[in-house]
Amino acid sequence: MLLLAACSSDGSSTPLLTDQPTASTASVTTSTTATSSSTESTAPPVATEPVVTEPVVPTGPMCPPSPAGRIAYALSLPGAGATGGDLQAVHVILPDGSNDSVLFGGDEYLGTGEPSWSPDGTRAAIAASQDADALYVVRCDGTIETVLSGLSLGTASDPVTIEMPSNPSWSPDGSTIAFASADGLFLVDPADPEFDIPTTTDFYGLPGSQSIVVTQVALDLTVTPGRPSWSPDGTRLVFGATDSSGNIDVYAVGLDGSGLTRLTTDAADDYQPAWSPDGSRIAFRSSRDGALWMMTVDGSNQQPLFSGEGAEAAYQPSWSPDGTELVYVSGPAGDTRVHIIGADGSGDRRLTADGASPRAEQWPVWIGT
């Protein structure tokens, strides 16, 4: 499920809950270019009829403005829960490594992670594996704005629930959230009035809305787990997917499924792409060397970001707002740390402090406010 969350002013927060691919006749264009070697919150009032309210501008220590921006990331501490389960949370940290604080999460909130900022930085979306499959819109002051549950395929009269929606990604204009699941790529309007206003802060007792049919991006591919990344103009998405051959590659597509283009063709798996803020480049993870690569937006000039040999495995790149750096995670599977590196491959540094191992830090995302 997907979950959108916000922090409280004391650094704590209340977590909120948030496979068959659909075939289409969309044609695929293959790139022919060769590659190279907390202030305590109160629940909103129950609304029995649609209510028009003034927009809320949340405030708090993890809310904007922050001149250097803020980085959110997911943290999992295996076996650290009170009853031996995993301890999971979403953290926010400044780009200089200071003020690492819990946005929300806690004891045994399984699957909490994959954060995504709204463009203005006032809200955060996350994914979580809990009892309900839903998206949650939560303000950065810790209050829940909307429960986006009942996400479905099909029709309103014959809905099919989308199982385990994950990896939310907000559009540049803030009007749409793209997300992935084993069923494909989807688009949802978080402001749809059919979604519920929550009446409780109980993570396990949140209400569900009626079935809401969302927009599916028409694809004849199996989408791989990962955050879909928007073009800066909000008209296309880049993502990882598997075709009938079983190879994972990076693809770009229009929101209606048109213009599907395969950007990588290497025999190795390429995935977890991230579109640069100026629209000219795409960073991605490649199994060619287990690290990060860069290419121009048409799939040409594919080059490893790291120089030399022996670089640690790297995953899940996300661009800095000015396009000069990337935030990513590095390390062996299950024991990763957040790093920042220059977009030219220079100045790699670890962002997060030393902590107990194993300590899985994942899916960092950088917002400029």
Listing DSSP states for 89-120 in one string gives EEEEE-TTS---EEEEEEET-TT-EEEEE-TT
pLDDT at 123 over 80: yes
The encoded tokens of residue 200 equal 């409780």
Sign of CA pseudo-dihedral 222, 225, 226, 230: positive
- Whether residue 358 lies inside any domain: the answer is yes
207 pLDDT more than 60: no
Percent of the chain at pLDDT > 90 equals: 45
**16-37: average pLDDT:** 45
> For residue 321, is pLDDT > 90?
yes
* Per-residue model confidence (pLDDT) at position 13: 41
Beta pairing class for 184-188 and 215-217? antiparallel
Considering only CA atoms, which of 96, 195, 167 is closest in space to residue 363? Answer: 167
**Does pLDDT of 205 surpass 60?**
no
Q: Please write the tens of the pLDDT for every residue from 74-121.
A: 998 888 877 787 888 889 999 999 999 888 776 655 667 789 999 999
| Residue 53 is assigned to a structural domain of this protein | no
Q: Check whether 154 has a pLDDT greater than 70.
A: yes
- Tell me which H or E stretch contains 43: none
Instruction: Give yes or no for a contact between 205 and 171, defined as CB atoms under 8 angstroms apart.
Output: no
- CB 248, CB 240: distance < 8 Å: yes
Per-residue pLDDT band at 311 (split at 50, 70, 90): low
Q: Which residue has the higher pLDDT, 251 or 46?
A: 251
Tell me the C-alpha distance between 262 and 248, whole Å.
10
Q: At which residue do the structure tokens 């959108």 appear?
A: 4
Does 352 fall in a domain? yes
Residue 362 structural domain? 2-37+62-367
Element (H, E) at 70: strand 70-77
Structure tokens at 57: 């501008």
Inform me whether the pLDDT recorded for 25 exceeds 50. Answer: no
Considering the domain boundaries, does residue 44 fall inside one? no
Domains in the chain: how many in total? 1
Residue 50 falls inside a structural domain:
no
- Out of 63-72, 145-154, 166-175, 355-364, pick the least confident: 145-154
> Which CATH number covers residue 88?
2.120.10.30
